[in-house]
């Protein structure tokens, strides 16, 4: 971050790549409204993740054809409307090296951190969304937004460190209130009147920062690290107050959505999850359209999904282990039923970004979404044959509509590609066998 | 030796340490014998993040119940069986800070609003539209002391008064200014983090103990799930809490306080892993009786039973697992096949009822089942892990489910179904540990309703617990009641919860000592709490110890080691 000079930023903006720069841009460029929109520069490129549990059934999921116009086997038939917007990446590998295969854990942790966990409490480093948010998320109202469709506050794939998960928004009502409630700085509001209370709030916050600094001197190294994190939170509040004191630039696509007054039914039925997923997705997409954040995470389910099919006695996770393979079909029919529901939601998620017009295209042109799961074949906890998706065109830097076979190489190549797209400069990503310096060049424009 | 005499014995401990000559005299005078408490090295000093309930309870005690708040901070990470242990590790994210800010803003606005200011603010400003330092000073010294858990220095109060004055003048409103500063106090590290400090222990050369204010907070968050009250802070600040007599008096007062109930509820909610209720749902097509209200009431029923049994009636902890006494609500009645009552009412199951003890309550039966059927394995695992503090290893990743997956097989009952595990050596090891107890609960379906048959076949609920055979649930309840692991596990969890640190193998003797005291006291919860908080171990700390290693550095290569999966059931700490 420190190697960003004003000149470099200017050069970046002229090349149309200012989109990959967040906080540093603010710090050195002194833009008076905190967004790159005012100057007429291209819309920012945003990074997101999407997570589903329990992999897939290869025989009815993996297309026979590679490249553009790939076929849609029955398990992924729901992707037809969004096929041109996504890349389906198959046959990659989570390498556990000398660690155990921690069921429904090792896989997604590698996908998100690049490193195999040593036990089920281990998150070896921050997750990729945190790295990218540190790079681009500093100038918006929210550094990142994390949501889940499970209704469970524990369903998240985003961690600052093992003891600091980014807990998800799980209630559409609360998510609405946080995003579009009374504190929403509507960029298109006719009148702007800074609230004097916000000014006072900001000034009394300095007292809290002083207290934190003096407390930091009294505690050990590990606790100091935690207080440091808390201090970052205070600075974030301060920045939010600052933003509320400035008139936001109008954004044509931004519209406060209809108010959510009551939460939908909580429960783990696949349909209830789908309803929550749609509501959370719509809120998230509008938050992005209003430039409230540039980094987002959605957990459709957690890895050991507890989704329910009404009338079927076991939840998704148990089904993958205990349902017999139908010899005629060649797969577990109920387990596949759950996977198909997940892919319908994935299709909804991608499609939602196309509903917002941005410049000459849509919001989807200016995002890059990385979608991951925990296993290839959940029944046997396989860590090979891993499927992943990307969606969006990252401001024109990424092509979409391809099926790519990674030939058993590391899944981390996709994460590494994302890091590079967002200007995180590092020679490689991942640990031991998951370490890679090879992007998935097939998807780069 | 009865409990009263033994307590007076431990009260003599400082005298015993006073030296050989004094010792003899003290023994004669007071009839003391040396305490049996084994020597311990002390745990680390903690910086604990306050939990949602601790925050809410504290606010309710400081501002009264009229200040209401709908909030839920992110949960702690369950560590060695308890969420409470996660508090010393938890970090704070930026979105969490927003949550704290929103909560603080709501509370502060309520405290200074026109309806409440007259009784929540101890004075009236000379003019409502500008600063009044004297009144602000009075408010911040009183409220700040309770929220920050120590008397504020003149400089600290001065800073708050100045900020409130500036804000009042800026906003032309005394109360608005006061509210803004209260808001900032509510998100300050002094409120959100519980900071422990140590001092030299004058009774034990070379050892450190919590300083009196840290001890007050540790006691209060443990026993009350809230910050210390004025009296406890006074005892700490006057030094009384440092004397055994002063400590004992405060502990007795705390144990007699109605606030103890919240503390005991919080502990059992954590120990029984009731956070799983937050995401519990059942298949409505299979269990139409099981609704959102059932979920909330099932949790409440067990907590009411626990508090009534252990605190109000002061009964033997082990009897919780055989008792027929409980409370019934309209939402629960259908599941228990009873006529609906009006609100919550005490209820006693008849003598021949299969409902005996906590294992047969909906909370246990339903949370440890699948959405559409019961699970002997999940129930057996929960019994082992939550109530006996044992660790049941997860299934191996390469497990062969083919025996279960045979599409031609028809298993009428769960017993037939799980029997398939026992034929596979990789499965049998753990399933022999979980299933025989879980199967004894098969007379209750996945929602907790009683049944006598499954698919037309009579249910066989026999089994054994650690070599003790039984015929049905009544037998399992009695076997659990008599299992020495049951009270030992409680001791382990209570000590860990109160001190904020997982019990380690080196604490074995200490746990044994607490266990013996607990047994001698007739397994009474208040006595156990008293024994633990009055022990030297509870307040002893070793500042050189670390709570946990720092978060790993990015991209650190994983060590090339091979970990053996635990292949046998291991005892945790005991």
Could you count the other beta carbons within 10 Å of the beta carbon of residue A227? 22
Residues 300-329 of B with CB under 8 A from A: none
Would you call B289 helix, strand, or coil by DSSP?
Answer: coil
What pLDDT sits at residue B514?
A: 97
Reported ipTM: the value is 0.86
CA B382 to chain centre: 17
Distance of alpha carbon A386 from alpha carbon A317, whole angstroms:
17
Distance of alpha carbon A428 from alpha carbon A431, whole angstroms:
9
Number of domains in chain A: 3
Residue linked to tokens 């209830």 = A272
> Is residue B155 within 8 angstroms of chain A, CB to CB?
no
For the residues A289-303, what does the mean pLDDT come to? Answer: 97
What pLDDT sits at residue B545?
A: 83
pLDDT, tens only, A357-374: 998 899 999 999 999 999
A329 shares a domain with A208? no
CATH number of the domain enclosing A115? 3.40.720.10
For the cut 60, the answer to whether the pLDDT of residue A28 exceeds it is no
Distance of alpha carbon B43 from alpha carbon B503, whole angstroms:
10
For the cut 90, the answer to whether the pLDDT of residue A42 exceeds it is no
What pLDDT sits at residue B405?
A: 53
Strand partners, B391: B570
For the cut 50, the answer to whether the pLDDT of residue B21 exceeds it is no
What pLDDT sits at residue A2?
A: 41
pTM for the full predicted model = 0.86
Contact flag B557-A431 (C-beta cutoff 8 Å): yes
In the listed set A221, A246, A271, which residue is the last one of a domain according to the structure? A246
For the cut 70, the answer to whether the pLDDT of residue B306 exceeds it is yes
Counting one residue from chain A and one from chain B, the pairs whose CB atoms sit within 8 A come to: 237
Contacts of A103 in chain B (CB under 8 A): 394-395, 397
Residue B565 sits at φ, ψ, to 5 deg, of -65, 140
What pLDDT sits at residue A14?
A: 37
What pLDDT sits at residue B11?
A: 40
A294 shares a domain with A175? yes
For the cut 70, the answer to whether the pLDDT of residue A10 exceeds it is no
List chain B domain ranges.
92-194, 267-482
For the cut 50, the answer to whether the pLDDT of residue B28 exceeds it is no
Contact flag A163-B401 (C-beta cutoff 8 Å): no
H or E segment to which residue B410 belongs? none
Distance of alpha carbon B190 from alpha carbon B574, whole angstroms:
35
Angle at B71 between CA B66 and CA B73, to 5 degrees: 140
A77 shares a domain with A51? yes
The closest CB to that of B163, out of A162, A207, A311, belongs to A207
**Strand bridging mode A67-68 / A402-405:** antiparallel
Most A CBs within 10 A among B80, B551, B561, B565, hence the mutation to make, goes to B551
A132 shares a domain with A13? no
Domain that holds residue A37: 1-42
What pLDDT sits at residue A40?
A: 57
What pLDDT sits at residue B567?
A: 27
Contact flag B91-A161 (C-beta cutoff 8 Å): yes
**Strand bridging mode A86-92 / A402-405:** parallel
Distance of alpha carbon A54 from alpha carbon A73, whole angstroms:
18
Contact flag A125-B406 (C-beta cutoff 8 Å): no
Would you call A18 helix, strand, or coil by DSSP?
Answer: helix
Contact flag A230-B550 (C-beta cutoff 8 Å): no
Band the pLDDT of B281: cuts 50, 70, 90.
confident
- Please name the residue of chain B whose CA is at the shortest distance from the CA of residue A160: B93
A139 shares a domain with A232? no
For the residues B514-542, what does the mean pLDDT come to? Answer: 97
For the cut 80, the answer to whether the pLDDT of residue A126 exceeds it is yes
Contact flag A204-B184 (C-beta cutoff 8 Å): yes
| Six-digit token string for B335 | 């599941």
Residue linked to tokens 């339903």 = B366
A312 shares a domain with A358? yes
Taken in order A96, A66, A401, A420, the sign of the CA dihedral is: positive
Residues contacting B304, CB < 8 A, separation 6+: B326, B327, B344
Most A CBs within 10 A among B177, B397, B563, hence the mutation to make, goes to B397
For the cut 80, the answer to whether the pLDDT of residue A313 exceeds it is yes
A120 shares a domain with A56? yes
Contact flag B93-A223 (C-beta cutoff 8 Å): no
Contact flag A322-B405 (C-beta cutoff 8 Å): yes
- The shortest C-alpha distance from A209 to chain B (Å) reads 8
Distance of alpha carbon B371 from alpha carbon B287, whole angstroms:
9
Would you call B163 helix, strand, or coil by DSSP?
Answer: helix
Contact flag A125-B553 (C-beta cutoff 8 Å): yes
What pLDDT sits at residue B397?
A: 76
H or E segment to which residue B391 belongs? strand B390-391
A259 shares a domain with A232? no
pLDDT, tens only, B67-107: 888 777 888 888 889 999 989 999 999 999 999 999 999 99
- The shortest C-alpha distance from A361 to chain B (Å) reads 31
Would you call A93 helix, strand, or coil by DSSP?
Answer: strand
What pLDDT sits at residue B406?
A: 54
Q: Across chain B, what does the average pLDDT equal?
A: 87
A116 shares a domain with A51? yes
A201 shares a domain with A181? no
pLDDT, tens only, A425-440: 999 999 999 999 999 9
Nearest to B179, CA basis, from B125, B251, B239: B125
What pLDDT sits at residue A139?
A: 87
Band the pLDDT of B573: cuts 50, 70, 90.
very low
pLDDT, tens only, A386-438: 999 999 999 999 999 999 999 999 999 999 999 999 999 999 999 999 999 99
Angle at A346 between CA A296 and CA A22, to 5 degrees: 20
Q: What is the DSSP string of A228-293?
A: HHHHHHHHHHHHHHHHHTSPPPP-TT--PPPPP-SPPPPS-BHHHHHHHHHHHHHHHHHHHHTTS-
- Please name the residue of chain A whose CA is at the shortest distance from the CA of residue B190: A211
Q: Are A148 and A156 in contact (CB under 8 A)?
A: yes
> Is residue B118 within 8 angstroms of chain A, CB to CB?
no
């Amino acid at each position: 971050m420190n190697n960003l000079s004003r000149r470099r930023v200017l050069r970046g903006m002229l090349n149309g790549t200012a989109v990959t720069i967040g906080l540093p841009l603010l710090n050195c460029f002194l833009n008076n409204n905190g967004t790159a929109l005012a100057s007429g520069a291209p819309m920012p490129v945003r990074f997101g993740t999407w997570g589903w549990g329990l992999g897939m059934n290869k025989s009815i999921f993996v297309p026979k054809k590679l490249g553009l116009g790939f076929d849609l086997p029955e398990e992924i038939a729901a992707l037809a409307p969004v096929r041109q917007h996504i890349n389906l990446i198959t046959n990659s590998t989570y390498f556990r090296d000398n660690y155990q295969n921690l069921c429904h854990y090792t896989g997604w942790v590698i996908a998100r951190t690049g490193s195999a966990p040593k036990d089920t409490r281990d998150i070896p480093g921050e997750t990729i969304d945190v790295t990218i948010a540190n790079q681009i998320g500093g100038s918006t109202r929210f550094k990142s937004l994390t949501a889940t469709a499970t209704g469970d506050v524990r369903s998240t794939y985003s961690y600052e460190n093992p003891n600091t998960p980014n807990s998800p928004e799980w209630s559409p009502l609360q998510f609405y209130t946080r995003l579009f409630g009374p504190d929403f700085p509507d960029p298109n509001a006719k009148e702007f009147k800074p609230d004097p209370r916000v000014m006072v709030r900001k000034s009394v916050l300095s007292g809290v920062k002083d207290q934190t600094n003096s407390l930091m001197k009294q505690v050990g190294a590990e606790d100091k690290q935690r207080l440091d994190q808390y201090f970052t939170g205070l600075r974030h509040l301060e920045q939010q107050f600052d933003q509320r004191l400035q008139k936001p630039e109008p954004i044509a696509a931004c519209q406060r959505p209809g108010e959510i007054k009551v939460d939908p039914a909580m429960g783990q039925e696949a349909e209830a999850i789908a309803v929550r997923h749609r509501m959370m997705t719509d809120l998230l997409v509008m938050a992005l359209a209003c430039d409230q954040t540039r980094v987002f995470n959605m957990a459709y389910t957690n890895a050991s999904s507890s989704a329910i099919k009404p009338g079927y006695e076991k939840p998704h996770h148990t089904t993958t282990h205990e349902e017999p393979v139908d010899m005629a079909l060649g797969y577990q029919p109920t387990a596949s039923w759950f996977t198909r529901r997940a892919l319908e939601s994935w299709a909804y998620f991608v499609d939602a970004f196309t509903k917002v017009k941005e410049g000459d295209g849509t919001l989807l042109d200016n995002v890059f979404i990385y979608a991951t799961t925990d296993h290839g074949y959940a029944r046997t906890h396989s860590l090979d044959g891993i499927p992943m998706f990307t969606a969006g065109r990252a401001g024109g830097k990424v092509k979409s509509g391809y099926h790519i076979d990674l030939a058993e190489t590391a899944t981390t190549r996709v994460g590494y590609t994302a890091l590079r797209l967002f200007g995180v400069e590092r020679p490689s990503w991942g640990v031991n066998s998951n370490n890679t310096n090879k992007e998935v060049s097939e998807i780069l424009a | 030796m009865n409990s009263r005499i033994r307590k007076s014995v431990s009260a003599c401990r400082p005298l015993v340490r006073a030296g050989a000559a004094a010792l003899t005299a003290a023994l004669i005078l007071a009839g003391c014998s040396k305490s049996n408490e084994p020597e311990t090295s002390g745990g680390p000093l903690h910086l604990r993040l306050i939990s949602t309930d601790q925050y809410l309870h504290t606010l309710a005690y400081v501002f009264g119940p009229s200040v209401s708040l709908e909030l839920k901070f992110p949960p702690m990470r369950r560590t060695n069986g308890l969420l409470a242990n996660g508090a010393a590790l938890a970090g704070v994210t930026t979105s969490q800070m927003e949550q704290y800010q929103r909560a603080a803003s709501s509370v502060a606005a309520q405290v200074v609003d026109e309806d409440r200011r007259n009784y929540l603010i101890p004075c009236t400003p000379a003019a409502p539209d500008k600063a009044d330092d004297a009144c602000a000073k009075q408010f911040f010294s009183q409220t700040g002391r309770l929220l920050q858990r120590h008397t504020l220095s003149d400089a600290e109060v001065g800073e708050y008064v100045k900020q409130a004055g500036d804000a009042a003048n800026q906003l032309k409103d005394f109360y608005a200014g006061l509210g803004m500063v209260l808001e900032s106090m509510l998100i300050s590290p002094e409120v959100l983090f519980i900071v422990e400090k140590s001092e030299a222990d004058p009774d034990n050369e070379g050892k450190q103990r919590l300083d009196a204010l840290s001890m007050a907070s540790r006691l209060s968050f443990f026993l009350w799930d809230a910050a210390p009250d004025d009296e406890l802070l006074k005892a700490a600040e006057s030094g009384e809490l440092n004397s055994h007599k002063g400590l004992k008096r405060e502990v007795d007062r705390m144990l007699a306080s109605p606030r103890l109930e919240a503390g005991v509820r919080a502990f059992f909610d954590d120990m029984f892993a009731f956070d799983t209720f937050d995401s519990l749902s059942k298949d409505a097509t299979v269990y139409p009786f099981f609704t959102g209200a059932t979920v909330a009431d099932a949790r409440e029923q067990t907590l009411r039973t626990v508090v009534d049994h252990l605190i109000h009636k002061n009964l033997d902890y082990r009897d919780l697992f055989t008792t027929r006494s409980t409370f019934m609500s309209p939402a629960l009645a259908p599941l228990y096949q009873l006529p609906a009552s009006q609100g919550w009412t005490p209820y006693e199951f008849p003598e021949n009822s299969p409902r005996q003890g906590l294992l047969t309550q909906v909370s246990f039966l339903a949370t440890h089942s699948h959405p559409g059927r019961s699970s002997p394995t999940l129930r057996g695992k929960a019994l082992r892990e939550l109530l006996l503090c044992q660790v049941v290893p997860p299934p191996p990743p390469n497990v062969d489910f083919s025996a279960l997956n045979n599409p031609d097989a028809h298993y009428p009952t769960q017993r037939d179904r799980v029997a398939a595990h026992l034929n596979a050596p990789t499965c049998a090891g753990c399933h022999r540990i979980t299933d025989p107890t879980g199967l004894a609960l098969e007379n209750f379906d996945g929602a907790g309703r009683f049944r006598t048959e499954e698919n037309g076949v009579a249910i066989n609920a026999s089994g054994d617990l650690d070599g003790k055979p039984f015929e049905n649930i009544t037998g399992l309840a009695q076997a659990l009641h008599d299992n020495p692991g049951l009270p030992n596990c409680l001791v382990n969890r209570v000590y860990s919860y109160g001190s904020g640190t997982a019990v380690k193998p080196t604490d074995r003797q200490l746990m044994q000592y607490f266990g013996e005291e607990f047994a001698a006291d007739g397994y009474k919860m208040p006595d156990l709490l008293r024994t633990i908080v009055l022990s030297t171990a509870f307040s002893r700390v070793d500042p050189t110890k670390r709570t946990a290693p720092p978060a790993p550095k990015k991209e650190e290569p994983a060590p090339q080691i091979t970990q053996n999966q635990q292949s046998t059931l291991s005892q945790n700490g005991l």
